[in-house]
Amino acid sequence: MASGASMADELAGVFARVSGLLLTPETVNTALKLITALARQTVPGTAGSGITLMDQRGERVTAAATDAIVERADALQYHLGRGPCLKAWEDRVVVRVDDLARDDRWPDWGRPTAELGLRSSLSAPLVAGSRALGAMKVYALEPRAYGPREEQVLTLFASQAAVMLANLRTAQDAERVSDRLKDGLREREVISLAKGIIMARDGVDERAAFLSLADVAGRQRTTLRQAAERLAQSTVQRRR
């Protein structure tokens, strides 16, 4: 068992490495694997560790796992739609199972998982602000492997993973907003350009030019932007 000082040093080391990563889906996946690997090493008695998230289709998936047996235990939870990891995520609480073979809360998950060789589990939610993003869990080969100290340690790991995931999502949201703003500006620019072409060509004011462009879009069954882009492109081609 690692001493308190050495455990703190290990946690500080991995969190420092993670915090220095440029946030992209690829580097976050690497960091999640790093966190689960260190959790297996740091939490005494642990045979495997994993992190459960939701994919783009809204399905629960194991985003990082140290061992195939973790993925098998997780897959059974997803199939059943219940289990300690999902309970930790749903209720935002740490869930400990002292003996998978005897626990009566999820017998249809615990007993088959015990047959895989796992006997204890500890799950902590990934919570960032008001959002529950997923859960992190560790499994042990022996019953009653975990207690309050291990709950505290796993909560630290889960908190770090949650912060990193929340930061990535914030960055992705900001990028999507930026792309929408750029697209909106582009649309306004091309429509303004098309109105200017019509004003110069037909000798009309801005309002009449806009109505003319809208009429063209209606007849062509296209959007205002598409009609404006076609007009601008045809004008450039005629001038060549």
Q: Note the pLDDT tens digit of each residue in 59-116.
A: 999 989 999 999 999 999 999 999 999 999 999 999 999 999 999 999 999 999 999 9
Query: How far is Cα of residue 96 from the mean position of the Cα atoms in its chain?
Result: 25
Q: Residue 139: enclosing H or E segment and its boundaries?
A: strand 131-140
Domain count, the chain: 2
- Do 69 and 188 share a domain, yes or no? no
Instruction: Provide the pLDDT for residue 14.
Output: 55
CATH number at residue 216: 1.10.10.10
Selection from 90, 85, 88 nearest residue 110 by Cα: 85
Residues 137 and 151: their CA atoms lie apart, in Å, by 10
pLDDT at residue 4 in the model: 45
Are 168 and 202 contained in the same domain?
Answer: no
The CATH number given to whatever domain includes residue 50 is 3.30.450.40
- Rounded to 5 degrees, φ, ψ at 142 are -110, 150
Whether residue 83 sits in one domain with residue 161: yes
| 78: Cα separation from own chain's centroid | 17
Beta bridge partners of 137: 50, 123
* Rounded distance between C-alpha atoms, residue 204 and residue 107, angstroms: 78
Instruction: Specify whether 93 is located in the same domain as 198.
Output: no
Low-confidence residues of the chain: pLDDT under 70: 1-28, 167-185, 235-240
Residue-level pLDDT at 148: 93
H or E stretch covering 221: none
| Cα–Cα distance for residue pair 63/25, rounded to 1 Å | 11
Q: Are residues 170 and 207 in the same domain?
A: no
User: What per-residue confidence (pLDDT) applies to 178?
Assistant: 46
Domain encompassing residue 132? 4-175
> So what's the pLDDT on residue 126?
92
